[in-house]
Structure 1
Amino acid sequence: MFKEIISFFESIDPVWGALLATSFTWFLTALGASFVFFFKTMKRSVLDGMLGFTGGVMVAASFWSLLAPAIEMSEGEGFKKVLPSVVGFGLGALFLFVLDKFLPHLHINFKPSDKEGIDTGWHRTTLLVLAITLHNIPEGLAVGVLFGGVAAGIPEASIAGAVVLAMGIGIQNFPEGIAVSMPLRRQGLSRRKSFWYGQLSAIVEPIAGVIGAVAVTFFTPALPYALAFAAGAMIYVVVEEVIPETQQDKFTDIATLGFIGGFLVMMTLDVALG
């Protein structure tokens, strides 16, 4: 099955491949959000475990799918070889830092008084969706730049690696969709609105994926920087947002085990299939 999927993506333009792959990750978010039609509530321990799993996948993907290839494809030795990854990683984290400071948002398990970004009167629902949207920007970008590297003919960038990354992100997007829609339902939103906002948080992934693929296609030398940029942004999200969201209640051990599980799943996928 995996070979057939790779053959399909190899037969189409990589930019279209990036769009399809990130549409798949969005679809799994929507699939997770659809659980709100069948359940009104979900145990906090399960939600924290899901968020922990999300963080584990993101950290593993940051190294195995992004940083390691970025370092491998950089020229030179020693400090010269690692410099593009250092610069890109730092810029990616700085990019999310700036967005975090200016974009109004509220993390899932936080009180309304803990909202971040520019002060605004926006509804709590909007702030929650924007918080998850921040998670998804670097994820879509990561898939896109890998497909862009394939389009540019860079040997270290492979369709298999890009597809595996999309699979890993899609897997963690499924519980993330649940973790967004369920709290919205608890706040009193209808099932339809909870689903709508839950899936909407990931619609940015196809957009970021196409932008990343096109940008790398037109400027091939930027690929190591772009891969590290996506990694830096993802690590920033995990440390600043995902992990703190799992530490607001008494289920921190479950969240930690979820994190370990997510890391192992992504590492296994990348090494075995990528």
Structure 2
Amino acid sequence: MEKIIIYSGLAGLATCLGGLLVIWVRNPGERFLASTLGLAAGIMFGVTILDLLPSAWIFGTPTKFFAGLGSGILFMRLLDAILTQTTPRLPRTRDPIHFLHMGYLVAIGIALHDLPEGMAIAVGYEATEELGLIIALAIALHNIPEGMAIALPLKIGGAKAKTIIFIALLASFCTPLGTLAGMVLISFSRHFISFLLAAAAGAMLYIVFAELGPESKRRHPNFAKLGAVLGMLLIGLLSLPV
């Protein structure tokens, strides 16, 4: 019990490492912004297609799968609308509020994603301790670029370093929280995990196509595409069987 929570907690804290990497980069140019936002979009899309959606389909029923997917998209759409209505707006290319808004959405999407990831650690550990450790390591590697995805729009929006790390830290707590929840849910049914995996997938797809993707293209289309391809390749490599 204690070991798996430690594994999960360390995997979650890798999100903060990704945030620190972004903070250390000073005065990023348009090409860097486009490629990094594209990288974040590619990573999130890759995780969704290669990990979340297949796992959600396998663990549950079509009903749970599509209900979760739709719920995730709807949740993020409603949250996006609420944030838009409660914050003043300027043209996106020079609006720091827009990037703070984007950073909050990314953080929430990744936090939702980290919950079922934590559950995956619990499921693996339930089989063997070694499998739980391997899954935790893979998730830690995923979480570094995800921390960058949270930090970059917040930094562009003018958020202070301590605020960025605090938000990344809050997101990182969702991994061990998901592990605890997973250990409880496993005793009942694994079908609960299907809905959560699909909901996280829906949330991340909304972020990719409504926020990260369009913004990276506005910065520099070619570097946005390069970043997206590299992000998907990175997740593809991490998803290879060990």
Per the normalisation by structure 1, the TM-score is 0.71
What is the aligned partner in structure 1 of residue 230 from structure 2? 261
Q: Is the 8 A contact 2:12 2:175 kept in 1?
A: yes
Q: Determine helix, strand or coil for the equivalent of 2:168.
A: coil
Residues 219-243 of structure 1 deviation map (CA, whole Å, 9 limit, x = unaligned): 2321122222221211121112111
Map of 1:123-138 to 2, 5 A cutoff? 127=101, 129-138=103-112
Query: Are residue 45 (structure 1) and residue 31 (structure 2) matched?
Result: yes
Counterpart pick for 1:70 among 28, 51, 56: 56
Separation (CA, whole Å) in 1 of partners of 2:148 and 2:104: 18
Separation (CA, whole Å) in 1 of partners of 2:211 and 2:152: 17
Residues 172-222 of structure 1 deviation map (CA, whole Å, 9 limit, x = unaligned): 4336535543552xxxxxxxx732233233122223223322223222321
Counterpart pick for 2:161 among 191, 195, 202: 195
Q: Is the 8 A contact 1:50 1:176 kept in 2?
A: no
What is the aligned partner in structure 1 of residue 206 from structure 2? 236
Residues 120-179 of structure 1 deviation map (CA, whole Å, 9 limit, x = unaligned): xxxx86x5653443343234324223223335559xx85434432331231343365355
Distance 1:232 1:161, change over 3 A: farther
Separation (CA, whole Å) in 1 of partners of 2:96 and 2:4: 44
Query: Are residue 143 (structure 1) and residue 117 (structure 2) matched?
Result: yes
Query: Are residue 208 (structure 1) and residue 174 (structure 2) matched?
Result: yes
Q: Is the 8 A contact 1:150 1:158 kept in 2?
A: yes
Query: Are residue 99 (structure 1) and residue 79 (structure 2) matched?
Result: yes
Q: How far off its partner does 1:92 sit?
A: 1.9
Q: Determine helix, strand or coil for the equivalent of 1:21.
A: helix
Q: Is the 8 A contact 1:132 1:201 kept in 2?
A: no
Separation (CA, whole Å) in 1 of partners of 2:55 and 2:107: 26
Counterpart pick for 1:30 among 20, 27, 43: 20
Separation (CA, whole Å) in 2 of partners of 1:90 and 1:62: 14
Query: Are residue 21 (structure 1) and residue 11 (structure 2) matched?
Result: yes
Structure 2: stretches of 5+ with no match in the other structure: none
Q: Is the 8 A contact 1:56 1:260 kept in 2?
A: yes
Q: Is the 8 A contact 2:8 2:175 kept in 1?
A: yes
Separation (CA, whole Å) in 2 of partners of 1:56 and 1:258: 7
Separation (CA, whole Å) in 2 of partners of 1:67 and 1:162: 19
What is the aligned partner in structure 1 of residue 216 from structure 2? 246
- Quick check: 49-58 or 165-174, which moved more? 165-174
Separation (CA, whole Å) in 2 of partners of 1:149 and 1:99: 30
Separation (CA, whole Å) in 2 of partners of 1:150 and 1:88: 22
Separation (CA, whole Å) in 1 of partners of 2:47 and 2:74: 19
Separation (CA, whole Å) in 2 of partners of 1:147 and 1:256: 32
Distance 1:92 1:167, change over 3 A: same
Q: Is the 8 A contact 2:76 2:206 kept in 1?
A: yes
Map of 1:219-230 to 2, 5 A cutoff? 219-220=185-186, 221=189, 222-230=192-200
Rg: which structure is higher?
A: 1
Q: Which amino acid aligns with 1:223?
A: I
Per the normalisation by structure 2, the TM-score is 0.79
Structure 1: stretches of 5+ with no match in the other structure: 1-10, 75-80, 116-123, 185-192
Separation (CA, whole Å) in 1 of partners of 2:78 and 2:3: 33
Q: Is the 8 A contact 2:56 2:197 kept in 1?
A: yes
Q: How far off its partner does 1:110 sit?
A: 4.2
Q: How far off its partner does 1:56 sit?
A: 0.6
Q: Give the length in aligned residue pairs.
A: 233
RMSD of the TM alignment (CA)?
3.2
